[in-house]
Amino acid sequence: MTMTGKPEPPEGLTYEQFLEWLSDGTRAEWVNGKAIYLSPVADPHAAIVLWLGALFEILCEERGAGWARVAPFQMKTGPDLPGREPDVLYVAPENLSRVKRTYVDGPADIAVEVVSPESAARDRGEKFYEYERGGVREYWLIDPERKQAEFYQQGPGGLYVPAVIGDDSIFRSRVIEGLMLDVRWLWQEKLPTLLSVLKAWGIIT
């Protein structure tokens, strides 16, 4: 039995069986027919996830298009790739057919992982290559403990190349026009208010 009293899933699950077994709120990923539990998160990890998720959601509403979610929500980038649960997902308007009731059937256009000590090797290793191979257009890796943010964008042949961040510490997305992120915001003792970010983006005055 799991900690919640739920029966342990058998090995050899298909992804469809895994989704059926997965209950609301259960944090797990599907890898090689197995359900892999994810550790609970704590601040500042949770704070950054919620903050980014809110900003993505506002962008979707302001433009009347696109789709964004925070974990727990599944993404299956390809038939022979694991089912993962990125911390934040964004799907562009032209790809909304990929969004199903319980998972994204194909790559999100942006996937964000906020790194914790437990997830560091997985986020920088397995997921990096899976998201690259699966066609996620931008992969953001944010590490609060090291105060380090890495942004990868598809280059020639679909391989990831690091985004260039200038002396102004600002990352500019290629997926969402006008989306910029001052990396220094992430390491403040208190994250900037949503209103202040929207003003920086020119959405409100």
What CATH number is attached to the domain comprising 67? 3.90.1570.10
Taking phi first (over 0 means left), then psi (-120 to 50 degrees means alpha), and beta for anything else, what does residue 187 get?
alpha
- Per-residue pLDDT at 6: 55
Q: What is the model's pLDDT at position 20?
A: 84
Residue 13 and residue 91 share a domain = no
Q: Residues 145, 196: one domain?
A: yes
- pLDDT at res. 7: 64
Residues 195 and 143 in one domain: yes
Instruction: Give the count of beta carbons closer than 10 Å to the beta carbon of residue 101.
Output: 5
Per DSSP, helices labelled H in the chain are: 15-21, 45-63, 120-124, 126-134, 194-201
pLDDT of residue 2: 45
CA–CA dist 7, 203 (Å, integer): 48
Place of tokens 């929207």: 198
Same domain, 107 and 165: yes
Both 16 and 80 in a single domain? no
- In the β-sheet with 88-91, what is the strand arrangement from edge to edge? 67-70, 88-91, 110-114, 138-143, 148-154, 160-162
Amino acid at 132: E
Residues 33 and 45 in one domain: no
* pTM score: 0.88
Reduce the DSSP state of residue 183 to 3 states and report it. helix
Domain extent at residue 183: 41-201
Q: How many CB atoms lie within 10 A of CB 182?
A: 15
Q: In the prediction, which pLDDT does 173 show? A: 95
Those residues of the chain that have pLDDT short of 50 are 1-4
Residues 106 and 48 both lie in one domain: yes
29 sits in which H/E element: strand 28-31
Q: What is the pLDDT of residue 116?
A: 87
My answer on whether 20 and 107 are in the same domain is no
Cβ neighbour number for residue 105 with a 10 Å cutoff: 15
Task: Answer yes or no: do 124 and 24 share one domain.
Answer: no
Residues 6+ apart with CB under 8 A from 125: none
Query: How many domains does one find in the chain?
Result: 2
Indicate if 32 and 45 belong to the same structural domain: no
Same domain for 67 and 166, yes or no, is yes
The answer on 84 and 25 residing in a single domain is no
